[in-house]
Structure 1
Amino acid sequence: MNLLKLSAALLALALLGGCAAPKTVDYSAFKQARPKSILVLPPINESPEVQASYSLVSQVTYPLAEAGYYVLPIALVDETFRQNGLTTPTDIHAVAPAKLHEIFGADSALYITVTEYGTKYMLITSDTAVTASATLVDLRTGTTLWTGAAHASSEEGNNNGGGLVGMLITAAVKQVINSSTDAAHPIAGIASARLLSAGQPTGILYGPRSPKYGSD
């Protein structure tokens, strides 16, 4: 399965499984700003897994592009920060919005924080989970346009059979696999799709490259 098909599959899975109780979101600033381009900043990682930031940021372009926005190339953004002596997400997030606008010319910036990433081994199972939050800021004015959060887990809707012994064996096998690979990476793809896909009750609005632009 190629990357595009995998991303589409993850997006579909995320939208099917990511339903939550709706809440009220004020989109007035978002609609007034009408951003066309998004600068994705390296996520701040609050989890114990060092790869969490890289894993999530590598998967945010697809849902944002599908929503109708131009996303500045992640590799180019990273290299630009490095050339300017900024190598940590915390320092990058501290840069003034006006300065980011001056350097990159983007309308808005997406600030992401990863609060959970990785696999937890429990008595009869193991759960791989990713939780992240994001804030979209207008770089021209510094105004917050939107905030959101999302969670994805390998145990969603899991109703294992086979009794206690079968569950223990399954958990042990999963733990071995998860210890040798980054099992959280595909889960991060689902979380990023839930977080950043447009058309959801609390999601971002459709951008100008989408045929649904203005329908929110």
Structure 2
Amino acid sequence: MSRFLSFRLWFALSTFALLAACAQPVKHADYTAFRNSRPHSILVLPPENETTDVQATNSMLSQMTMPLAESGYYVVPVAVMDETFRQNGLTVPADIQATSPAKLREIFGADAALYSKITQYGTVYHVVDSATVVTASARLVDLKTGDVLWQGSASANSNEGNNNAGGGLIGMLVMAAIKQVANSLTDRGHDIAGVTSYRLLHAGPPNGLLYGPRSPQYGTD
């Protein structure tokens, strides 16, 4: 994805979020358990993949640590997590997520674990259009108590902000053909997964994670 296209995508997403916020009342999450726990470190578990794309789990997992780290948390390195489970014969996300919170804390020493699920990943083709969509949900669990501290969901797609009004039917068919070729030659899902990961795991109001202890905004929320 070029820098120009990236700018257009992020501008469109920001505009969409602003309009959505103005259109309806915002419901705020209950942070009582989160504030009481105040985790310093997070273990990100491999997301469960409910889609048909075998790349979904690795694509999302590779981009989920950055927004958490930027929000002020220490994140257990993905390579360490993956190798530890592999050495113990666990390679399937569902089996890994079934490990008890107490056992995860004993092995990794983290304060909390992030459990996530991917429900949509990849390109959806229509007669005159196509869009790459990634949708995921997550919950943060206290490894000392097993309590759910936070949960949320997010989605992103490559057509946000696009205007297909011009060009008529022929123009729409041509653009659809070009997009289908581009989507088949590049992993658009990985790029959109990055947007979904940020939307899902960034800190801040109204429903994002609380800022972690390594953030200058820690305690202000």
Same fold (TM over 0.5): yes
Q: Which moved more, 1:189-198 or 1:168-177?
A: 168-177
* 1:141 partnered with 2:145: yes
Structure 1 stretches of 4+ moved >4 Å: 8-15
The match for 2:190 is 185
The residue type paired with residue 106 of structure 1 is A
The match for 1:79 is 83
The residue type paired with residue 150 of structure 2 is W
Distance 1:189 1:108, change over 3 A: same
Matched positions, count: 211
Asked whether the 8 Å contact 1:135–1:148 carries over to 2, the reply is yes
Q: Look up the SS of the partner of 2:63 in the other structure.
A: coil
Q: 2:195, 2:8 → 1: CA distance?
A: 5
Q: Deviations over 1:128-169 (max 9, x none)?
A: 110000000000110000000000011112112221111111
Q: 1:73, 1:10 → 2: CA distance?
A: 32
Percent identity, aligned pairs only? 63
Distance 1:213 1:10, change over 3 A: farther
Among 171, 177, 182, the alignment partner of 1:172 is 177
The match for 1:60 is 64
The match for 1:23 is 27
Q: 1:135, 1:157 → 2: CA distance?
A: 29
Asked whether the 8 Å contact 1:10–1:189 carries over to 2, the reply is no
**Per-residue deviation at 1:197?**
0.5
1:71-150 to 2 correspondence within 5 Å? 71-150=75-154
Distance 1:9 1:176, change over 3 A: closer
**Per-residue deviation at 1:11?**
11
Asked whether the 8 Å contact 1:10–1:190 carries over to 2, the reply is no
**Per-residue deviation at 1:9?**
7.2
Q: 2:130, 2:10 → 1: CA distance?
A: 24
Distance 1:104 1:183, change over 3 A: same
Q: 1:29, 1:101 → 2: CA distance?
A: 18
Q: Look up the SS of the partner of 2:155 in the other structure.
A: strand
Residue segments in structure 1 that go unaligned for 5+ positions in a row: none
**Per-residue deviation at 1:180?**
2.3
The match for 2:202 is 197
**Per-residue deviation at 1:72?**
0.6
Q: 2:8, 2:171 → 1: CA distance?
A: 28
The residue type paired with residue 42 of structure 1 is P
Q: What RMSD over aligned residues (CA atoms) do the two structures have, in Å?
A: 2.2
The match for 1:155 is 159
